[in-house]
Amino acid sequence: MTSNAPRALITGATSGIGLEFARQLADEGYDLVLVARNEERLRTTTRALAAEFGITAEALVADLGTSPGIAAVCEVLDTRRIDVLVNNAGHGLEGLTLDTPPEKIRAMGTVLYDAVVELSWHAAHAMLERGRGGILNIASLAGITTMGPYAASKSATLVFSESLAGELADTPITVTAVLPGFVKSGFHEVIGADVSAYPSLAWVTAEQVARTALRDARAGKLVSVAGLQYRIAYGVGQILPRPIVRSISTWFRKTRQTSP
């Protein structure tokens, strides 16, 4: 029996922000298509969400760092009704640009930018045909800084989202770029970054990011920033001269390198 419930497709859905998006949307009655690389964790998450919220949850195992993985998700977007797309799959690097092999930088860019562009393109076309839909692209406040390839990829995602939103301005399709600051999500532990010295004020929760993003997307906002401290930082970042942004980014990067 075909469900009439709205359906969301979420990449990087087994932990952190992606999992919180899945939980909140499931709580609202959305069916889910969850995308991740780790099949065991993905299927466990899918079963748990379906049982907890009484919705239909499907697992799509795909590596968005590869062309076949991206193509598999695009096929779902082309052939299934997806009302909300959340491009959340993450990839990070710990270390300076010149200390990182080019292939690793390229792989990160594929996940953080190339996949976002391609999935958004397919979703937007399908949503235009149905006359409704929403796309949320998880960028980062790092994208307004000059802190290496990660920031560059997130900046590209932000600019792409702004451009796509402009193209869809006169349609019922919304595009929202989500710019988290430091999030208690396990991401930094995965990439081996030591953030133990950061004060509690620096952190927001994945629940806070997802809830703010969904609220902002439904209000038609192009940029969503969770946490007053980060909304202030984003606002300041919009008016600071670029040389000052570069100086602050360099100082912060050096601070991270010398932290115990």
Q: What share of the chain is helix, strand, coil (3-state, %, to 5)?
A: 55, 15, 30
Q: Give the span between the Cα atoms of 209 and 20, in whole angstroms.
A: 9
| Structure tokens belonging to residue 231 | 């909304």
| Structure tokens belonging to residue 250 | 């360099």
Catalytic residue among 30, 113, 150, 230: 150
CA 50 to chain centre: 22
Cα→Cα distances 237→33, 137, 176, Å:
35, 20, 19
Identify the DSSP state of 185.
S
- With tokens 């919705």, the residue in question is 55
Q: Give the span between the Cα atoms of 23 and 30, in whole angstroms.
A: 10
Q: Does 113 participate in catalysis according to the annotation? A: no
| Structure tokens belonging to residue 88 | 């959340």
CA 106 to chain centre: 18
Helices (H), 102-204: 102-109, 115-130, 148-167, 187-191
Residues near 165 by beta carbon (within 8 Å), at least 6 away in sequence: 174, 175, 176, 222
- Catalytic positions, please? 150
